[in-house]
């Protein structure tokens, strides 16, 4: 008899706990495969400390292969599930495609940023769901404070050192609390010329901070925020976002270069393609985390609507605490479906919540006991150390160093603004030039949220507007015009842009197309030559994958409608006032693409020839 094949999609709190428990329960009598875009489990509650420079990124990233030795890890994103054929189709990080057959399937794909139909938010705001977004925010905030400190104009200084966080839930509250401490520490060491100080704003339409928590904890969190100078505005949100600021629902305008979107999350759009009963975007399951009518299919975490047995008629909320417990129960029930053990119904007991407010401040209610101050801070950090599946010593060491040493306020420039779009269906993966974009699910993200005109923004043709060096890169918060980037106006020869006019040296290479140049410059990498992943069609949704029997995800983007899409940028010369200039020889393929986060400077060639602007 062959060994049963168990496939787990997603390695968040639910997927990771399922894989770890299954590995122990099956005792190597089953083939367990974990499909995930990254090779690490991200401990999300500590992500604000990464953005504030307290923890290094690898501290909150737990290796999957190192902690799950008997689980096969496959890097990729599921983009189609054939329920009748019992197979999962996925696309790898370099564009390669593959299929995983299964006898039992566990869907634990997690959640993505929640979008709202607010003009300009998709273009100018950034979420806070993945490690790339936290790294970008850390660099961006550091850069804005440094630029504000060097500015002589008070208006520019005020705009650059104003930071707006939308959403006063757990994430938004922690981001604002840690961010205010981080920027205050920067200004103490390097005061601004104009004598101004950083300004943080926390907005939410709710009547109070963290409305899902006990009212006493909510008051504690708000008191700490106000003590640090954070402007807490309840009953207020963003009406429109632009490059230069935001318009609030109360009619006021705030000049800012930073808009952090923490209004909540929604289930991964993957489950919508299954055609199964849903509850507000979540897959309906029974108390055993099994999909009715599909004995081989289980779902847990944020993608599953799990009945709350303690509150009949309701479903468990989308929190890490529930997802972690879902994973354990799901693993036991998967094993029971294979003939070993008894099924368990998911029933939870509230253990309380903890909110880290930075320094020695926190708000916590362990076992229902409200706490604040240093005692709550100790309980909060102790809880995180106990809950983390790895890296505990390293995290504790970083906390100790942060307590006795000043933080390193430097920007590394590893993540660009265009690499972390808000409407991304995979916030845990930063976009890179040359990699086929994952826009099928991105189109679903835009269409489901009702953001008209954003579904087609990341197609290859339109992506010049947001890709490195593209002309509207200046619209990104803190970005600079693409024409000021290294090498003159290289937007035309970057991925997704127009082909550059080649100079005499480049002309000798022949008349190869843009795609052929990409193939030749990537040294045979399938990243350039592979099939594009979920490319968004500007004219409409892409049809389903032919002959596969799997539903096409792009078709679900029709909610956005094509009528609201903005016209694509006209091809041809640059839209600058003067005549188009020849940018000179084309830079080598391994030259980092210019973007809004790179300081202007010359482009160096690696083939020994001098590019335009070299001294």
Looking at residue 1, its pLDDT comes to 54
For residue 521, the SS3 value is: helix
Helix axes 131-150, 170-189, angle to 10 degrees: 30
* DSSP designation for 540: S
Residue 587 has phi, psi (to 5 degrees) of -70, 160
Q: In this structure, are residues 398 and 413 in contact, taking their beta carbons and an 8 Å threshold?
A: no
490 Cβ neighbours under 8 A, 6+ residues apart = 469, 482, 500, 583, 587, 593, 594, 603
Looking at residue 392, its pLDDT comes to 95
Residue 413 has phi, psi (to 5 degrees) of 70, 25
Looking at residue 597, its pLDDT comes to 43
Looking at residue 104, its pLDDT comes to 96
Say how far apart CA 337 and CA 524 lie, in whole Å: 45
Residues of the chain with pLDDT under 50: 436-588, 591-615
How far lies 430's CA from each of 12, 274, 421, 426, 438, in Å?
Answer: 17, 26, 9, 8, 11
312 Cβ neighbours under 8 A, 6+ residues apart = none
* DSSP designation for 345: -
| CA angle 476–478–482, rounded 5-degree value | 60
Against a cut of 0.75, is the pTM above it? no
144: alpha, beta or left, given left = phi > 0 and alpha = psi -120 to 50?
alpha
Q: In this structure, are residues 493 and 485 in contact, taking their beta carbons and an 8 Å threshold?
A: no
| Nearest alpha-carbon partner for 173 in 133, 123, 119, 211 | 211
Burial bucket for residue 570 (CB in 10 Å: 0-12, 13-18, 19+):
exposed
| Segment 404-420, tens digit of pLDDT | 998 888 888 889 888 89
* DSSP designation for 273: G
* DSSP designation for 503: -
Q: In this structure, are residues 89 and 97 in contact, taking their beta carbons and an 8 Å threshold?
A: yes
**Order of strands across the sheet with 278-279?**
278-279, 282-284, 304-305
Say how far apart CA 105 and CA 330 lie, in whole Å: 11
**Order of strands across the sheet with 231-234?**
231-234, 199-204, 162-166, 258-261
Say how far apart CA 316 and CA 530 lie, in whole Å: 40
Question: Could you tell me which residues are beta bridge partners of residue 479?
Answer: none
Say how far apart CA 532 and CA 438 lie, in whole Å: 8
DSSP letters of 114-180?
A: PP---TTHHHH-B--SSHHHHHHHHHHHHHHHHHHHH---HHHHHHHTEEEEE--SHHHHHHHHHHH
| Residue pointed to by tokens 């639910």 | 14
Say how far apart CA 397 and CA 366 lie, in whole Å: 24
| Nearest alpha-carbon partner for 164 in 131, 125, 135, 191 | 125
Total residue count of the chain as it appears in this document: 615
Q: In this structure, are residues 108 and 270 in contact, taking their beta carbons and an 8 Å threshold?
A: no
Token couple for 121: 């938010």
Q: Which helix (H) or strand (E) holds 304?
A: strand 304-305
Q: Which helix (H) or strand (E) holds 184?
A: helix 170-189
224 Cβ neighbours under 8 A, 6+ residues apart = 177, 357, 361, 363
Looking at residue 433, its pLDDT comes to 67
| Segment 461-495, tens digit of pLDDT | 333 344 443 444 344 444 443 443 444 344 444 44
C-alpha dihedral sign at 471, 158, 417, 440: negative
Say how far apart CA 199 and CA 179 lie, in whole Å: 10
How far lies 267's CA from each of 38, 107, 165, 279, 443, in Å?
Answer: 18, 11, 22, 10, 15
How far lies 429's CA from each of 38, 64, 221, 256, in Å?
Answer: 7, 16, 31, 27
Say how far apart CA 307 and CA 327 lie, in whole Å: 15
Q: Which helix (H) or strand (E) holds 247?
A: strand 245-248
Looking at residue 600, its pLDDT comes to 39
Distance, CA of 398 to chain centre: 24
- Rounded-to-5 percentages of helix, strand, coil across the chain: 35, 15, 50
Segments of 334-416 assigned E as strands: 354-356, 362-364, 371-372
Looking at residue 124, its pLDDT comes to 93
**Order of strands across the sheet with 104-107?**
72-75, 31-36, 5-9, 104-107, 297-299
């Amino acid at each position: 008899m062959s060994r049963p094949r168990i496939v787990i999609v997603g390695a968040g709190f639910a997927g990771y706990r399922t894989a770890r428990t299954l590995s122990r329960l099956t005792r190597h009598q089953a083939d367990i495969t974990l499909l995930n875009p990254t090779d690490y489990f991200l401990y999300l509650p500590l992500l604000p400390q990464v953005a504030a420079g307290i923890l290094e990124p690898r501290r909150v990233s737990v290796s999957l292969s190192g902690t799950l030795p008997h689980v096969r890890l496959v890097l990729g994103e599921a983009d189609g599930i054939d329920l009748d054929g019992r197979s999962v189709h996925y696309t790898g990080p370099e564009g390669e495609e593959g299929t995983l057959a299964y006898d039992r399937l566990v869907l634990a794909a997690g959640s993505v940023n929640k979008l709202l139909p607010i003009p300009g938010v998709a273009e100018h705001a950034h979420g806070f769901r993945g490690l790339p977004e936290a790294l970008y925010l850390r660099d961006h905030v550091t850069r804005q404070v440094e630029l504000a400190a060097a500015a002589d104009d008070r208006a520019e200084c005020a705009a650059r050192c104003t930071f707006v966080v939308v959403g006063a839930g757990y994430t938004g509250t922690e981001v604002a609390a840690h961010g205010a401490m981080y920027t205050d520490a920067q200004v103490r060491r390097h005061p601004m010329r104009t004598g101004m100080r950083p300004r943080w704003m926390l907005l939410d339409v709710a009547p109070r901070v963290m409305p899902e928590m006990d009212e006493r904890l909510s008051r504690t969190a708000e008191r700490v925020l106000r003590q640090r100078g954070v402007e807490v505005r309840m009953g207020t949100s963003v009406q429109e976002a632009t490059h230069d600021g935001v318009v609030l629902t109360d009619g006021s305008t705030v000049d800012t270069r930073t808009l952090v979107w923490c209004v909540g999350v929604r289930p991964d759009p993957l489950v919508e393609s299954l055609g199964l009963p849903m509850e507000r975007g979540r897959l309906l399951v029974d108390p055993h985390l099994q999909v009715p009518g599909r004995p081989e299919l289980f779902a847990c975490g944020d993608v599953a609507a799990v009945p709350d047995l303690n509150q009949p008629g309701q479903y468990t909320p989308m929190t890490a605490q529930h997802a972690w417990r879902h994973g354990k129960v799901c693993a036991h029930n998967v094993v029971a479906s294979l003939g070993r053990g008894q099924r368990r119904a998911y029933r939870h007991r509230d253990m309380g919540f903890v909110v880290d407010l930075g320094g020695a401040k926190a708000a916590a209610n362990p076992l229902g006991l409200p706490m604040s101050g240093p005692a709550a801070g100790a309980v909060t950090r102790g809880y995180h150390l106990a809950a983390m599946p790895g890296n505990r010593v390293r995290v504790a060491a970083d906390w100790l160093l942060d307590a006795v040493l000043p933080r390193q306020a430097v920007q590394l420039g590893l993540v660009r603004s265009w690499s972390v779009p808000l409407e991304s269906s995979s916030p845990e993966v930063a976009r890179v030039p040359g990699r086929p974009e994952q826009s099928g699910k991105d189109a679903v993200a835009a269409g489901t949220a009702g953001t008209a005109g954003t579904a087609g923004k990341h197609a290859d043709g339109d992506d010049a507007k947001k890709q490195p060096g593209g002309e509207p890169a200046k619209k990104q918060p803190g970005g600079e015009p693409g024409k000021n980037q290294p090498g003159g106006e290289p937007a035309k020869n970057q991925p997704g842009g127009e082909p550059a006019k080649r100079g005499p040296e480049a002309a000798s290479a022949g008349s190869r197309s843009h795609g052929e140049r990409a193939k030749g410059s990537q040294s045979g990498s399938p990243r350039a030559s592979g099939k594009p992943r979920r490319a968004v069609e500007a004219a409409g949704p892409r049809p389903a994958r032919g002959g596969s029997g799997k539903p096409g995800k792009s078709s679900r983007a029709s909610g956005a409608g094509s009528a609201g899409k903005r016209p694509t940028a006209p091809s041809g010369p640059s839209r600058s006032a003067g005549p188009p200039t020849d940018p000179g020889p084309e830079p080598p393929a391994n030259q980092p693409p210019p973007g809004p986060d790179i300081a202007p400077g010359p482009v160096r060639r690696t083939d020994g020839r001098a590019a335009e602007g070299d001294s």
